[in-house]
Amino acid sequence: MNNDDNESIISHLEALRQTLLKCMYSIAIVLPFMFYFAPKILSRFIKIILGSNKVTLNFFSPAEVFIIQIKMAVLMSVIICFPYIAKQLWNFILPALYDNEKKIIKSLVFISSFLFTAGIVFCIFMILPLIIKFGLSFQSENIQAVFRISEVINLGLWLSLAFGLMFQLPIITFYLIKSDILSYSSVAGKRPYVVVALLVLAGILTPPDVISQLMLAVPSYLLFEGGLLFAKLK
């Protein structure tokens, strides 16, 4: 490897470092404001996911709720900064792309941010209440549900982030086809492998229960089909 190659690698690593630092700085700036609003956000979050179910969340250590508020503040900071983070990451990738690929990527930044937010909203308003209702369905005269607040909120935050990421699938599918990295027929013919891959990813991104995994894997596959269809129409 010659000096030019070494300098090129170093410059790319430095550019990556600067990009990651900008992303971290943006989150650090927003984080104090989100921590201030964390108690109200947490209260609203609990009301949404519990819905009409009559259940009380319990905590078993003095700092448990405080730690949850920190996690909530971090997640909200990531959500708010996601458009900026996405733009910085795309800007890092753009110099390595061809002109036609750059045009596609630039138009996808906004869509990526929208889908990330849509995934989180879908999870909070649709998926989490169903999981709570499913858990309560096991109650009986002799069995009563006692939910720990940290477990419920951690599940909600982790699933929300997982849904936000998995909702990027249509963009990935569309880009791979439109940039001629893969052909439409090649991607369409790999549907069985996509199903297996999504189930594996859902197993990694969700807690070890089948319901959560299926609730992530099924919408993700539908999004994959949507990206495939959109690429075909375009």
32 vs 4, residue with greater confidence: 32
SS (H, E, C) 75-137: HHHHHHHHHHHHHHHHHHHHHHCCHHHHHHHHHHHHHHHHHHHHHHHHHHHHHHHHHHHHHHC
The residue assigned the tokens 């108690």 is 39
Query: What is the distance between the alpha carbons of residues 110 and 105, in angstroms, rounded to a whole number?
Result: 10
Residue 4 has pLDDT above 60, yes or no: no
Contact between 136 and 55 under an 8 Å Cβ cutoff? The reply is yes
pTM: 0.72
- Tens of pLDDT, residue by residue over 158-188, are 888 888 888 888 888 877 777 777 777 887 8
Domain boundaries, the chain: 3-167
CA atoms within 13 A on the CB side of 55: 25
Which pLDDT does position 77 carry in this prediction? Answer: 92
206 vs 138, residue with greater confidence: 138
Query: What is the distance between the alpha carbons of residues 203 and 209, in angstroms, rounded to a whole number?
Result: 8
Residue 119 has pLDDT above 80, yes or no: yes
Mean pLDDT for the chain overall: 82
Q: How confident is the model at residue 218 (pLDDT cuts 50, 70, 90)?
A: confident
